[in-house]
Amino acid sequence: MLNVYSESENVIHVKGSKFMYGWILLALNGGVFACLLITHGLKFDSSYSLIYLGGGIMCLPFFLYITFWTLPGFIPGKILLTIYQGENGTIKSKKDIVYFKNIRNIDIVRNPFNLINDVIIDTFDNKTIKIWTYNLLDELAFQVLVDQYIYPYMTENSRNVWDRKLDLVKLKEITKYERV
| Average pLDDT of the segment spanning 92-108 | 95
pLDDT at 67: 87
pLDDT at 88: 93
* 107 bridge partner residues: 120
Domain ranges of the chain: 18-74, 95-175
Alpha carbon separation from 168 to 106, 116, 176, 180 (Å, rounded): 17, 25, 10, 11
| Average pLDDT of the segment spanning 131-157 | 93
At 33, the amino acid letter reads F
CATH code for the domain defined by 95-175: 2.40.50
Separation between Cα atoms, residue 26 and residue 46, nearest integer Å: 27
pLDDT above 70: residue 1: no
| Average pLDDT of the segment spanning 12-28 | 89
pLDDT at 180: 81
- pLDDT grade for 2, boundaries at 50, 70 and 90: confident
| Average pLDDT of the segment spanning 98-116 | 93
Least confident stretch, 7-11, 105-109, 153-157: 7-11
pLDDT at 95: 92
Alpha-carbon dihedral angle through residues 129, 88, 145, 164, given to the nearest 10 degrees: -70
| Average pLDDT of the segment spanning 76-84 | 92
| Average pLDDT of the segment spanning 90-107 | 96
pLDDT above 90: residue 66: no
Taking only the tens place, the pLDDT of each residue in 31-64 is 899 999 999 899 988 899 999 999 999 999 988 8
Separation between Cα atoms, residue 159 and residue 139, nearest integer Å: 18
